[in-house]
């Protein structure tokens, strides 16, 4: 199959962000004083379970970021290949049945007939109002009245078995890698995992993977012949819409943060370090910006951008490119209006740090302001940046849903949680009520936001110097003693006490 790769603006920024994160991970792993706090993140069972769920969302979002235009069957007069104006992604290829199996209109989850009655012409010329059979959902059934429920139960059973089989493979691979790394036996590694004596809570990760594997297996078996979450007004699969909305949520949450950080870091540290009239000017700027209703500012910017797009259609080859530029500007305006809270935090922390003894000593020795900021101030405020970044992610995902609901969010041609909720607004008021579109958007968004919040909580506990995990007062608890006794007989690296590493790595002056 011939295709033409397409790199949208948001795709390029996502790839840039992935590259930056990869470089940061490599740098942190090679510096023990930087990797110690992140190892404490790995000690949280809830945090690692949430990270596992987040990783599944991230993989789906990255698959939906690889775009291309498929080639058409015919060629132009010059013999050149003609490419479709429709921009697809790798995710679209993987879930092709969900994308192409479009019904007439609404259908309930796992249904075999339409949700509303329609007039059907009978062979004898008479007309009957009844629920028509779906074109794709349950079309393999000869007699839906008797075969429908048994077929669903059979496919759920097969999906559960497939999910358990995949989970067992993942479990075996993990234990083999652990046994090879620790030079121990395979059985001992399995016992160490489920006795909870490993440094990383693999038992929590494996339980989460078991749930995800079974869920994905069941959905995969059902989605081949049914619409698992029903269809919308135009007959499009709601599960497909929910999967496509994940990329938009991740782009809004990550790119907005990437745009926000330079403003917050530069202005916050500058205001706290230099103080005086510079501090007054910066405070005036973010106080003024906070006084402007962000929804009105975002609406004005999006509407101006929409007018520019409509008056310059020659700049965009496809509908996807036009929708993507609007998404990019939405990220920009959200980033410009979201940096003020982080700027305040950085200003307050810098005001405290500049009075520390090692900063005063650097001033006495004539060290330049730039070197003091980059070598002493910036490393000691990064924990605030990381905590705020992770915690703001969920708020930005919810902000996109609200903005799209009021009509100033992403382009209407782009599928997102906000556009799904907006479309479900009228569906909830009809009779009979169409409830599954809103429930699907709510469930996916709740899972994403909840996992992000749980992971943010683990990051905050590990990086915030005001919070200590595994304090000496807690080392005498039953749980800790149980882990200590189990670790004595375990060949696998056990969970270390992190108090000393925490005290040595947080607010450590860099000379």
Distance, C-alpha 281 to centroid of its chain: 36
Positions in the chain whose pLDDT score sits under 50? 469-511
pLDDT of residue 499: 40
Asked if 174 and 206 touch (Cβ cutoff 8 Å), the reply is: yes
If you search the block for the tokens 């990383």, which residue do you land on? 200
The sign of the dihedral angle between the CA atoms of 295, 253, 301, 304 is negative
> What is the tens place of the pLDDT at every residue in 447-466?
998 998 888 888 878 776 66
DSSP state of 237: B
What does the H/E/C string look like for 113-174? ECCCCEEEECCCCCEEEECCECCCCCCCCCCHHHHHHHHHHHHHHHHHHHHHHHHHHHHHHH
Cα-Cα end-to-end distance for the chain: 57
CA distance 417 to 438: 9
Q: Please answer whether residues 63 and 94 qualify as being in contact, where contact means their C-beta atoms are separated by less than 8 angstroms.
A: yes
Tokens of 58: 């991230």
Please provide the DSSP assignment of 304-334 as one string.
Answer: HHHHHHHH-GGG-SSHHHHHHHHHHHHHHHH
In order, the DSSP letters of 325-380 are HHHHHHHHHHHHHHSHHHHHHHHHHHHHHTTSHHHHHHHHTT--HHHHIIIIIHHH
pLDDT of residue 62: 93
pLDDT at 507: 44
């Amino acid at each position: 199959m011939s295709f033409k790769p397409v790199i949208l603006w948001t795709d390029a920024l996502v790839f840039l962000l992935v590259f930056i994160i990869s470089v940061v991970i490599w740098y942190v792993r090679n510096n023990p004083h930087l990797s110690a706090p992140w190892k404490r993140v790995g000690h949280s069972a809830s945090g690692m379970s949430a990270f596992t769920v987040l990783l599944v969302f991230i993989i789906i979002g990255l698959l939906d970021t690889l775009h291309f235009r498929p080639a058409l069957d015919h060629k132009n007069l010059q013999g050149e290949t003609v490419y479709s104006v429709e921009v697809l992604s790798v995710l679209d290829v993987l879930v092709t049945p969900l994308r192409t199996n479009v019904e007439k209109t609404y259908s309930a989850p796992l249904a075999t007939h339409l949700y509303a009655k329609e007039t059907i012409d009978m062979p004898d010329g008479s007309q009957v109002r009844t629920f028509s059979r779906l074109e794709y959902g349950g079309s393999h059934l000869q007699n839906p009245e008797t075969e429908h429920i048994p077929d669903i139960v059979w496919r759920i059973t097969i999906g559960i078995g497939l999910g358990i089989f995949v989970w067992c493979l993942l479990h075996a691979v993990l234990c083999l890698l652990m046994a090879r790394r620790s030079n121990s036996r395979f059985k001992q590694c399995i016992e160490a995992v489920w006795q909870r004596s490993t440094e990383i809570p693999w038992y929590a990760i494996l339980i989460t993977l078991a749930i995800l594997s079974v869920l994905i297996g069941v959905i995969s078996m059902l989605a081949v012949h049914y619409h698992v979450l029903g269809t919308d007004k135009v007959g499009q699969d709601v599960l497909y819409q929910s999967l496509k909305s994940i990329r938009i949520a991740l782009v809004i949450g990550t790119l907005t943060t990437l745009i926000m950080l330079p403003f917050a870091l530069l202005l916050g540290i500058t205001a706290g370090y230099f103080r005086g009239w510079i501090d007054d000017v910066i405070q005036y700027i973010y106080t003024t910006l906070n006084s402007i209703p962000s929804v009105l500012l975002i609406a004005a910017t999006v509407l101006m951008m929409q007018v520019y797009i409509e008056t310059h259609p020659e700049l965009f080859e496809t509908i996807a490119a036009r929708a993507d530029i609007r998404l990019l500007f939405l990220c920009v305006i959200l980033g410009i209006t979201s940096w003020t809270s982080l700027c305040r935090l950085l200003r307050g922390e810098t005001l405290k740090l500049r009075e520390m003894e090692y900063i005063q000593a650097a001033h006495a020795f004539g060290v330049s302001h730039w070197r003091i900021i980059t070598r002493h101030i910036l490393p000691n405020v990064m924990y605030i940046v990381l905590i705020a970044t992770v915690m703001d992610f969920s708020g930005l995902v919810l902000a996109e849903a609200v903005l799209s609901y009021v009509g100033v969010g992403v382009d209407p041609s782009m599928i997102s949680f906000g556009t799904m909720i907006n479309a479900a607004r009228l569906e909830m008021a009809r009779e009979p009520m169409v409830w599954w579109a809103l429930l699907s958007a709510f469930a996916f968004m709740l899972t994403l936001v909840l996992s992000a919040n749980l992971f943010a909580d683990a990051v905050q506990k590990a990086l915030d110097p005001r919070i200590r995990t595994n304090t000496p007062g807690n080392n005498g608890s039953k749980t800790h003693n149980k882990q200590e006794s189990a670790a004595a007989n375990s060949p696998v690296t056990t969970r270390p006490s992190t108090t000393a590493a925490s005290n040595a790595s947080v607010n450590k002056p860099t000379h």
